[in-house]
Structure 1
Amino acid sequence: MTTLLTSVTASQRLDSRGKPTVQVEVRTVDGTFRAIVPSGASKGDYEAVEKRDGGKAFGGNGVLEAVKNVGEIIGPALIAQRFDLGMGLKELDYFMVGLDGSSDKSNLGANAILGVSMACARACAAAKNIPLYEFLARETRLRRQGFVMPVPFLNVLNGGVHSGNPMAFQEFMIAPTGASSFAQGIQWAAEVYQELKSIVAKTFGKAAIGIGDEGGFAPPISQPHEALDLIMAAVKSAGYEGRFKIGIDPASTEFFTEGEYDLGFKSGEPRKLSSTQLMELFQGLVGKYPIALLEDPFAQDDWDSWSAFNKICKGSAVELVGDDLLATNIRRIDKASKADACNSLLLKVNQIGTVSEAISAAERAYELGWSVFVSHRSGETTDDFIADLAVGIGCGHLKSGAPCRGERVAKYNRLMDIEEELEAKKTSCSYAGEAFRYAHTNTKG
């Protein structure tokens, strides 16, 4: 039986920062399927372009034009093409890419296109009568040997443009690699988070337990070692020493100016480091703390620093993740491969604008022997799509913020649902744990 789109509509809704975003609803004989698009605050120059209205409403951030593009251009064109959703998503996604016609989806808006892509992915899964994560797994070129539940990297201390404190580095994450299941890992992480809350309150006063965009605390600290010492104290207090790894996302593009990195960019008191000095700072932190992952340690076009630091990291356990550097874009991935600049892709579906292109980017990273790290955005929604995506592509780890705020917890709750579902069906399912970087090798090309 052919499954066709019968309706494609969109509406303006709000993300976790109260800014407008696009909600898309598609209908087929199987029902109604919805998706809501996230947005970032720390954005690289190579991301697909959102369509924003400008003007006075919502400070120029309205998305009514993108909503109109879904209802008047994208939807009618897809319905006219009579795509059989039972055949998968790729043809539909790449048709939308061609319909837009630009290199960065700026004509119709990446937020318009992605909303349709995500909603249609759910409709495709329903057409096959399978869960979304299984549909996404089938959309890859990999033959799966069971499913792998990802290790959550939870951003428990916020800095950078995600908070009002003087900390330059944007995210400090905890990862329960020593747990035996995803559910246990979330339990441990939630307990550490609560211990951290108590420590922050005791150290800086209750006013310091306010949270940043991604649910992490934002105490009045400015030095990376201060954040890491707080985390280590919380892990110890919770009774989980040796069972957690740490990830850091400095989001260095945000404080890179004229060839230097200004770690005092938020305080008004410059603290400028050369790339060599910044490398030495990272090396010192890695040598002292159980850091397993560094994301965007250098700016998006500081290729020499990326390549030099990647040589230093060779043979170590540190995952060097490209976010702004790569923008979930295969052209940027290939450039980074030639420059030997990193060993991991941060996967954000709204950076590229369709689900199929995001999956292709992950496949390319795997071909290069890299790992893949699925990510939310700071301007999130309660849509839990990336939870299924992480399981579907077998990436072994994802980040969705602190165990706080509904739009963050929605992803973790969905992953616990998936784990329970797989166990109930007696489907092969394991927790990535210490081997999170290599979870995808549990597949065959």
Structure 2
Amino acid sequence: MQCWLCQWLLVKLVPLYKHIADLSGKSDPVLPVPAITVISGGNHAGNNLAIQEIMILPVGACSFEEAMQIGAETYHHLKCIIAEKSGSSGCNVGEDGGFAPNVSSFTKGLDLVKEAIDRAGYNGRIKLALDIAATQFCIGKKYDLDFKAPNKSGQNFKTGEEMIEMYTQLCADYPIVSIEQPFDKDDWEHTKLFSDLRLCQVVGDDLLMSNPKRIERAIHESTCNALLLKINQIGTVTEAIEVVKQANEAHWGVIVSHRSGETEDSFIADLAVGLATRQFKAGAPCRGERLAKYNQLLRIEEELGNQATYAGENWR
């Protein structure tokens, strides 16, 4: 945080999240539902899984503290399950702290997470989310789900229509409530076709780039229904507040997100509470740069006491 901002907050004698709430016109701070990374793939891990993240959302918790307990317990049950099935080497973690078992199919990864939720005793209290990050394996107008497999014989290419069919089946078979970047950053057509099915929250990451002009187009064309807010994409806090207002006016979901190569700076935790975004993404309950954000949210909830509101089932 810059020195002038520290001095300004000291003059105002308010916490950072409260100052952000004042700037954005929000009256009631809300503790967000964490989208906790449990399995990593894509360019964030050394396995053969094409998608970048499988996440759990503890929407059935009564507080942020309980949400983190549910998330951490499920995460560690998953570690035990992976070790049982593929040995301790499968418990290596990716860049965001999610485990990187050597699975190649979406369903195998989701089945592991489903088993961990069951073993932890949290069935019905956790929903699932996927970050496909499809831009990284889009070749031409097709998607190569085997782009990481060594010595592959015959690439597993899917058209946009086939990807929609796959997502539709996944949403039917698993409690998936959110899919991030399901298509290439410039594949507006298939993103809209999938979003029109209203099967889950469809999150624009590379598609939107936290850019007000791209967000405006997506709102006008009904391309997706949620914004992934990466503050270093848009550049300033003022601009971040404006794009969140854009998303709110369109009745979109908003997820404040970490980035790859994170530090222990916890500013985005205060940002999520101050803007009342209700969704927050900071990786796994593992590694200091991820835990710093979650710990700050725990401190904020403790400070708010009886005034603390956890988004929970109202995560959108």
TM-score by length of 2: 0.97
Number of equivalences: 313
Q: Counterpart of 2:267?
A: 385
Q: Counterpart of 1:39?
A: none
Q: Counterpart of 1:129?
A: 13
Q: Counterpart of 2:295?
A: 413
Q: Counterpart of 1:152?
A: 34
Q: Does 1:436 align with 2:315?
A: yes
Q: Counterpart of 1:217?
A: 99
1:172-191 CA deviation, whole Å, 9 max, x = no partner? 00111101000011011100
Residue 143 of structure 1: CA displacement? 4.0
Do 2:50 and 2:137's aligned partners in 1 also have CA atoms closer than 8 Å? yes
Larger Rg: 1
1:124-176 CA deviation, whole Å, 9 max, x = no partner? 32331110000111111x342x3211111101100000001000000000111
Do 2:26 and 2:275's aligned partners in 1 also have CA atoms closer than 8 Å? no
Q: Does 1:332 align with 2:308?
A: no
Query: Distance in 1 between the 2:176 and 2:259 partners?
Result: 22
Q: Counterpart of 1:237?
A: 119
Q: Counterpart of 1:182?
A: 64
Q: Does 1:138 align with 2:34?
A: no
Any idea what SS the aligned residue of 1:334 has? helix
Any idea what SS the aligned residue of 1:148 has? coil
* 1:27 to 1:411, Cα distance in 2 relative to 1, 3 A: closer
Any idea what SS the aligned residue of 1:217 has? coil
Q: Which residue of the other structure, out of 238, 253, 261, is the alignment partner of 1:371?
A: 253
Do 1:176 and 1:245's aligned partners in 2 also have CA atoms closer than 8 Å? yes
Query: Structure with the greater relative contact order (CA < 8 A, sep ≥ 6): 1 or 2?
Result: 2
Do 2:36 and 2:71's aligned partners in 1 also have CA atoms closer than 8 Å? yes
Residue 123 of structure 1: CA displacement? 4.1
Unpaired runs of at least 5, structure 2: none
Do 2:18 and 2:29's aligned partners in 1 also have CA atoms closer than 8 Å? no
Do 1:124 and 1:135's aligned partners in 2 also have CA atoms closer than 8 Å? no
Do 1:133 and 1:391's aligned partners in 2 also have CA atoms closer than 8 Å? yes
Among the aligned pairs, what percent are the same residue? 45
- Give the residue type in structure 2 aligned to 1:218: A
Query: Distance in 1 between the 2:10 and 2:239 partners?
Result: 21
Q: Counterpart of 1:201?
A: 83
- Give the residue type in structure 2 aligned to 1:299: D
Do 1:208 and 1:219's aligned partners in 2 also have CA atoms closer than 8 Å? yes
Q: Which residue of the other structure, out of 159, 173, 189, is the alignment partner of 1:288?
A: 173
1:375-434 CA deviation, whole Å, 9 max, x = no partner? 0012100000010000000011101000000000111110010000000xx4x3211111
Any idea what SS the aligned residue of 1:398 has? strand
Q: Which residue of the other structure, out of 272, 275, 278, is the alignment partner of 2:157?
A: 272
- Give the residue type in structure 2 aligned to 1:210: N
Query: Distance in 1 between the 2:291 and 2:158 partners?
Result: 36
Any idea what SS the aligned residue of 1:169 has? coil
* 1:355 to 1:408, Cα distance in 2 relative to 1, 3 A: same
Query: Distance in 1 between the 2:260 and 2:58 partners?
Result: 22
Query: Distance in 2 between the 1:381 and 1:160 partners?
Result: 21
- Give the residue type in structure 2 aligned to 1:293: S
Query: Distance in 1 between the 2:72 and 2:192 partners?
Result: 36
Q: Which residue of the other structure, out of 312, 322, 327, is the alignment partner of 2:197?
A: 312
Q: Counterpart of 2:234?
A: 352
Query: Distance in 2 between the 1:260 and 1:381 partners?
Result: 35
- Give the residue type in structure 1 aligned to 2:163: L
Q: Which residue of the other structure, out of 13, 17, 27, is the alignment partner of 2:3?
A: 27
Unpaired runs of at least 5, structure 1: 1-24, 29-119, 438-445
Do 1:156 and 1:402's aligned partners in 2 also have CA atoms closer than 8 Å? yes
Residue 285 of structure 1: CA displacement? 0.4
TM-score by length of 1: 0.69
Question: 4+ residue runs of structure 1 moved beyond 4 angstroms?
Answer: none
Any idea what SS the aligned residue of 1:430 has? coil
